[in-house]
Amino acid sequence: MGCLFALLGFAADAAAGPRQHWFETFKRSADDRDLYRFLYALPKGGDLHNHLTGSNFSEWWYELATDKALNGGYEYYTRVRIDNCVGYGQDMFGFAPYLLYFRNLQASSYQKLSECEQGEYKKISALNAAEKAAWMDSLRLDKQHEGREEFFQTHWQRLNELGRNPYINAEMLVKNMQAFAREGLTYLETMEGTRFYTRPDGSTFAPDEVADIFRQRLAEPDAVATGVTARMQYYLLRFIDNAEEDLEWIYRFVDANRDLFVGINMVGREDNDKGHPRRFLPTLRKLRRDIPGVPLAIHAGEVDEPNHHVRDTLLLGATRIGHGVNLIDDPDTLLLMRNSDYLVEINLISNLLLEYVDDYREHPFPEYLRMGIPVALSTDDRGMWDSNMTDEYFVAVKEFNLSWKELTSLAHNSLKHSFVDDETKQELLQDYARRLERFQKRFQRSGMQGLSDVVPRSHSFICQQYALCDFSSPVMAAH
């Protein structure tokens, strides 16, 4: 442990006198392209706030939807026409509204449609170039007028049965691990479940079968070769009618599968008041009487109005707060969290695109950071914003002028506050300290020339917004 603290203290000691620090010199002289490449190469910790089905890029979805060798032998169809096959009022505006292009079905569901409805659908593998481009755009926020409603009310409904294939989701998990490894992350704690998955014939997988599919995929050589440790949080959709019963089932399932699932996360729109945190307090107290504590990391404060959801989330026993945007408006809870063991998972790009802030400068992240509230950056539903962890780091440094100590604390916090077992956590922290020391020495010795082999992903959100990346380069496109 003494060695660990010595290594972790390296960055903090070097930050003394920040205006004389080499990182300050680099920031003053670097253009945006160099800053982005530097941050892409920078060793990072983990992504703690990551929705698995929302973290997959459209290109990945298309590849797996059309490759039966990778997706378990499924075939998929998507709606490309509206022929008014159902009457007004017949599921026109429900969870899966009829007037929704690019809703995806597996073949067994397609076969059950009427002849008229089948005429509205087309095999995803048979889409022409324009249809394919529109299909991929339908799964990301890529237009100025799209925002919160597009995300919550159409993206998930379009995915539909693509997200109910355990082989696709297991493959996506590994793709995320590979991509994060290129950015210097070594830990991923993603949110997913094991229920409601369907076989090609439409029958249902047992939850234990799905858990084993994830385990088996994570044990394969290409997953292990990433060097990324992956664990899962089981999600609870907080506002549904039977959410308390769901929580009981999930709690017991996580307890029985702690090698794979390390916690529970309550998800869903907070502006739906049926999911308010205190609703679940009696259930959690009952569960904790008989079952050793299951870690909780709960969405709270991702809402426009001031309220006490963050405070009430802490009352539930959560040690990590997802988003926490309106924590700034709850001074008592803000003071409680200073220099504490509670972490706020910060999602800068998500909060901008979903309109919880109108501008990065409105975000309370730097106030939390500089008040001593532990924070870490995370990517949320990165596939739907076409972003990565480097994008989050770039926004944080460019908008808020982070010091080296502040910058490196983000990765350290993401590992320190992970729900992984203590032995693995210490290994991850020690590894991060070693990687950070090597990176710093390399950069101080060779500068940007030492990062000439670093090739960021070419079509990240920030690359597009700031025109940082060379989209014409075949090497860049490969990433």
The residue with tokens 């695109």 is: 353
Range in 176-185, 416-425, 445-454, 468-477 with the lowest mean pLDDT? 468-477
What is the pLDDT confidence band of residue 9, given thresholds at 50, 70 and 90?
Answer: very low
pTM listed for this prediction: 0.92
If asked whether residues 125 and 207 sit together in one domain, one would say no
If asked whether residues 227 and 329 sit together in one domain, one would say yes
pLDDT surpasses 90 at 375: yes
If asked whether residues 280 and 135 sit together in one domain, one would say no
Structure-model confidence comparison of residues 1 and 333, the more confident one: 333
Cα 349 to chain centroid distance, Å, stands at: 11
pLDDT of residue 87: 55
Model confidence pLDDT, tens digit, residues 229-239: 999 999 999 99
If asked whether residues 286 and 328 sit together in one domain, one would say yes
Here the contacts of 337-340 (C-beta below 8 Å, separation 24 or greater) are 337/373, 338/371, 338/372, 338/373, 339/372, 339/373, 340/373, 340/374
CATH of the domain at 310: 3.20.20.140
If asked whether residues 114 and 241 sit together in one domain, one would say no
If asked whether residues 134 and 212 sit together in one domain, one would say no
- Average pLDDT, stretch 423-438? 98
Cα 231 to chain centroid distance, Å, stands at: 13
Q: Which residues of 221-246 are buried (b: 16+ CB within 10 A; e: fewer)?
A: eebeebebbbbbbbbbebbeeebeeb
Model confidence pLDDT, tens digit, residues 144-171: 889 898 998 899 999 999 999 999 999 9
SS3 content of the chain, % helix, strand, coil (to 5): 55, 10, 35
pLDDT of residue 372: 97
* Of 322, 334, 268, the residue nearest 297 (C-alpha): 322
If asked whether residues 47 and 98 sit together in one domain, one would say no
If asked whether residues 153 and 170 sit together in one domain, one would say no
In degrees and rounded to multiples of 5, residue 120 shows phi and psi of -85, -15
DSSP, collapsed to helix, strand or coil, labels residue 416 as helix
- Average pLDDT, stretch 28-37? 93
Q: Which residues of 249-260 are buried (b: 16+ CB within 10 A; e: fewer)?
A: ebbebbeebeeb
Q: How many distinct structural domains can be found in the chain? A: 2
Distance between CA atoms of residues 113 and 438, nearest Å = 59
E strand map for 10-95: 46-51, 76-79
Residue 452 included in any domain: no
**Could you write out the DSSP letters of every residue in 443-465?**
HHHHGGGGGTT----TT-HHHHH
Residue ranges making up the domain that contains 127: 75-159
Residue 118 included in any domain: yes
pLDDT surpasses 90 at 322: yes
What is the pLDDT confidence band of residue 43, given thresholds at 50, 70 and 90?
Answer: very high
Whether the CB-CB separation of 243 and 280 falls below 8 Å is answered with: yes
Whether the CB-CB separation of 453 and 378 falls below 8 Å is answered with: no
Burial of 348 (0-12, 13-18, 19+ CB in 10 A): buried
